[in-house]
Amino acid sequence: MLRKVKEAVTKKKLLLYSGDAHPELAEEIAERLGVPLGETNLRQFANGEMHCRYGESIRGADVFIIQTHGGMPVNDALMQQLIMIDAAKRASAKRITAVCPYYGYARQDRKAEGREPITAKLVADMLTVAGADRVVSVDLHTGQIQGFFDKPVDHLTALPILIECCKGAGDPADLVIVSPDAGGVKAAKRLANHLGADLAFVNKIRPKGEANTVVAAIVVGNVRGKRCVLLDDMIDTAGTIVAAADLLMEHGATEVWAMATHGVLSDPATERLKNSVISKVVITNTLPLPPEKQIDKLEVLSIAPLVADAISAVFEDESVSEIFGGENQK
């Protein structure tokens, strides 16, 4: 009897589940891990309420619930993940990890004015209360969101993937990595250091009360005669990126690329990018890309290998930062 108990304790079981937001990414992660996606039996009632029932026993298992907060209404994606986490907790999962390639409400991470919510903290609280023991996410809008959790957070970065892509941009001596605002200079500097390229940033002005309106003001750094790579964590309506690209060309840049981890691409982003001076747009697949938003200058890189390796490290109780050489965790 004692031997059977010891065998049960040492036998670990990894189970992967996906919500409806981005099943293609979940399938890619599962294929890399060699683990099939489990059945969640998600369904929606006539009144819009959602229901989940796992198709197998998950008692004592290490459960990873993959759901990016996009590809469907963000509130639906988030609520669906919360329900899946709650179901796993009540089914006696040993440990539950919420894998959120794109973390919803990340931009509401502070009170910019009075009487505003800090919704990024609210999302962290909801994931924790639902039963998440750990969170894995990629390129949070600000690193401070990790501090909103009282649970471990594995904050991955797409930097290694973007570095490989930038190596095809030509001689580093002719390359400038540009942050579209002062807040992104740190990330741009890391990429520039890896490539041996120069660094610049755009000082932008956002008119008060206009959330998606940006006026690019000045360029700090020399971009004349250089190929510029604009680096941001996300492209939403593309107002910031396009305004920055126009300014860079006015200052003598020979070509402008845009790179971001998250391609939110809310309207009118696709039209703006298509008609802009930007010659190439690079994003990752943390969010699904519908056919109507696929344009010729857009290239999508897969984040699945990074997320799969992080899941493997968490399951094996290994250091995620050591697995990635300290480069893929912030």
Give the C-alpha separation, 147 to 139, whole Å.
15
Pairing of strands 215-220, 198-205: antiparallel
Q: CA neighbours within 13 Å on the CB side: how many for 100?
A: 32
Q: Residue 30: which of 329, 307, 314 has the closest Cα? A: 307
Q: Which residues contact 60 (CB under 8 A, 6 or more apart)?
A: 8, 13, 92, 93, 94
What are the strands, taking DSSP E only, across 45-183? 50-51, 62-66, 95-100, 134-138, 153-156, 175-179
Residue with tokens 């609520």: 79
Residue with tokens 């008119």: 207
Q: Which residues are catalytic?
A: 204
Look up residue 46 and give its DSSP letter: T
Q: Which residues contact 48 (CB under 8 A, 6 or more apart)?
A: none
Side chain identity, residue 79: M
Kindly give the residue spans of alpha helices, DSSP state H, lying in the chain.
Answer: 2-10, 23-33, 74-90, 119-130, 159-166, 185-195, 239-250, 269-274, 304-315, 320-323
Pairing of strands 14-18, 62-66: parallel
Q: Cα-flanking dihedrals φ and ψ of residue 93, to 5°?
A: -65, 145
The count of residues in the chain is: 330
- What is the arrangement of strands in the sheet containing 134-138, beginning at the earlier edge strand? 14-18, 62-66, 95-100, 134-138, 153-156
